Amino acid sequence: MANTILVGAQWGDEGKGKIIDVLTEEADIVVRTQGGNNAGHTVLIGGQKYVLHLIPSGILRPGKKCVIGNGVVLDPIGLVEEMDGLKKLGVKIADNFFISETAHVVLPYHRLLDAQREVRKGRNKIGTTKRGIGPCYGDKAARVGLRMIDLIKPDRFADLLAARVRENNAVLKALGAKPISFRKTLAEYQAAGRRLRPFVTNTVVLLNEATNQGRHILFEGAQGTFLDIDHGTYPYVTSSNTTAGGACTGSGVPPHRIDRVFGVMKAYTTRVGEGPLPTENAEIADLLHGMGREFGATTGRPRRCGWFDAVATRHAAMVNGIDDLAITNIDGLDTLENIRVCIAYRHGGRRYDHVPNDVEVLSECEPVYADFPGWRTSTSGVREWKKLPARARSYLKAISELTGARLTIASVGPGREQTMFL
Ligand code: GDP
Ligand code: IMO
Ligand code: MG
């Protein structure tokens, strides 16, 4: 396996965790490069479900190294909880796990400010995961953030935290929110810092030495293309670069070391949180929710659902330079008689073949649909591409051609074994 960046080609929750788990078999190192514990990546192995938030999904394969890169915003309390949860399930986290010294630390005031801003936005809220992601990246850009290298030095951390708590408590008070306790925060974070210290290292050097030695790196994207701070449906986005470029800045591995970009997309569309979703459709949402699927892996919120949007995925292929596609959740469409695919948007008499940047325009866009006949038979037991119903194959070929990338993986269930390579 070459050095591969894996990204979500839609609005997140495309099934990246499952595909990462499959691709990790061929990789040596799996690295998260952006986002934080707003992510929820689900992997199902032999009936056991794992939900990863900060730890790369590669941790579930023995013998692989996992790295939290410099571009991630890391909640140490959340990470310790996640490590403990995985250990209880028998997952080894020891000399196979590394955390960047320069990853920024999510603090309680970030979470509180995230929640406060959402309340104050009222009906214009973003629908964040309230994990403090936006305020933490805000502090990073404002150059007032605390990093892992600070957290693992107890005295330095205490000094820096004192100053930050003073300033943020003044802001919280002005917003009518309860200030946080410096002493309690310090104690909790220093304890987490002691737990995490053995894993904290210079991951930029580690990753570059590994590629120099011919090791294969898999970059595990979080969120999706349309949640990207630059390329998404701003302001209804997350606060990091979720697109392929973010993997380089978020790891310190240079672009010429990247061999391919893998895009993951569902056979339909989902979004959790607010913001435009041109192909949103209540019937599909009812169908999928009725099957007990499409509830958020991090917040449990029901995901909004719609038809496959090829305008969006074509845009994602362009922005990320997607070479290969994995299409997941094909089985979600098994019962439908007719399947729609959005091939263009219409707005005010104009046709759009790309995603307009103005979210007001995008939210008013009417999809132009092409219709495909459904296959109306269960696909979840199929293990070979050729054994998929012909109509399913035609549909999948059509959406990958419309997207403009090669179809490489087809997924018909959450399990490892429910995966076909083309
Ligand atoms: P991620 O954030 O991109 O890793 O995706 P999530 O884990 O948040 O959401 C994807 C959901 O779809 C999870 O519940 C997966 O177990 C599930 N999943 C992934 N691929 C398939 C598939 O092909 N079929 C079905 N039925 N479920 C799938
Ligand atoms: P994975 O990696 C889906 C969404 C939130 C909200 C917006 C901003 O599992 O695909 P944030 O808390 O990041 O400030 O919220 O982004 N969001 C996700 N949606 N999957 C995710 O991650 C997401 N991470 C954030 O719902 O709309
Ligand atoms: Mg998810």
* Chain-centroid distance, C-alpha 210: 24
**Amino acid found at 102:** T
- Among candidate residues 72, 78, 63, the one with its CA nearest the CA of residue 99: 72
52 in contact with ligand 2, CB cutoff 6 A: no
* Chain-centroid distance, C-alpha 249: 16
Q: Quick one: tokens of 246?
A: 């973010």
131 in contact with ligand 2, CB cutoff 6 A: yes
75 in contact with ligand 2, CB cutoff 6 A: no
Question: What is the set of domains in the chain, with CATH numbers?
Answer: 4-101+200-262 (3.40.440.10), 104-196 (1.10.300.10), 265-421 (3.90.170.10)
Q: Quick one: tokens of 59?
A: 């941790």
| Ligand 2 atom nearest to CA at 131 | 12
pLDDT by residue for the chain (422 residues), tens only, comes to: 689 999 999 999 999 999 999 999 999 999 999 999 999 999 999 999 999 999 999 999 999 999 999 999 999 999 999 999 999 999 999 999 999 999 999 999 999 999 999 999 999 999 999 999 999 999 999 999 999 999 999 999 999 999 999 999 999 999 999 999 999 999 999 999 999 999 999 999 999 999 999 999 999 999 999 999 999 999 999 999 999 999 999 999 999 999 999 999 999 999 999 999 999 999 999 999 999 999 988 888 899 999 999 999 999 999 999 999 999 999 999 999 999 999 999 999 999 999 999 999 999 999 999 999 999 999 999 999 999 999 999 999 999 999 999 999 999 999 999 999 99
| Ligand 1 atom nearest to CA at 20 | 4
Q: Quick one: tokens of 305?
A: 């659902």
- Identify the pLDDT of residue 1: 66
CA of 193 to the centre of ligand 3 (A): 27
Q: Quick one: tokens of 112?
A: 């509180």
Pocket test for ligand 2, best of 112, 238, 295, 305 (most atoms within 8 A of CB): 238
Q: Pick the catalytic residue: 21, 28, 41, 324? A: 41
**Amino acid found at 230:** D
CA of 382 to the centre of ligand 2 (A): 31
Half-sphere exposure of 402 (CA within 13 A, CB side): 22
CA of 72 to the centre of ligand 3 (A): 16
Strands 48-52, 73-74: parallel, antiparallel or unpaired by DSSP? unpaired
Please indicate whether residue 114 is annotated as part of the active site: no
Closest ligand to Cα 38: 2
Q: Pick the catalytic residue: 13, 21, 28, 75? A: 13
Half-sphere exposure of 125 (CA within 13 A, CB side): 15
E strand spans, 214-349: 217-220, 260-266, 269-271, 304-306, 308-309, 324-328, 338-347
- Among candidate residues 239, 183, 258, the one with its CA nearest the CA of residue 31: 258
Pocket test for ligand 2, best of 114, 128, 234 (most atoms within 8 A of CB): 128
- Among candidate residues 172, 200, 229, 183, the one with its CA nearest the CA of residue 68: 200
Cα(340)–Cα(369) distance, integer angstroms? 6
CA of 266 to the centre of ligand 1 (A): 9
Nearest CA to ligand 1 atom 16: 414
Nearest CA to ligand 1 atom 1: 13
379 in contact with ligand 2, CB cutoff 6 A: no
> 418 phi and psi, to 5 degrees?
-90, 50
Strands 104-105, 217-220: parallel, antiparallel or unpaired by DSSP? unpaired
Please indicate whether residue 75 is annotated as part of the active site: no
Half-sphere exposure of 207 (CA within 13 A, CB side): 33
Q: Quick one: tokens of 304?
A: 């909004």
- Identify the pLDDT of residue 297: 84
129 in contact with ligand 1, CB cutoff 6 A: no
Please give the C-alpha separations between residue 374 and each of 36, 137, 177, 282, 405, in angstroms, as whole numbers.
38, 44, 52, 18, 23
**Exposed, middle or buried by CB within 10 Å (0-12, 13-18, 19+), for 221?**
buried
CB 276 within 8 A of CB 269: no
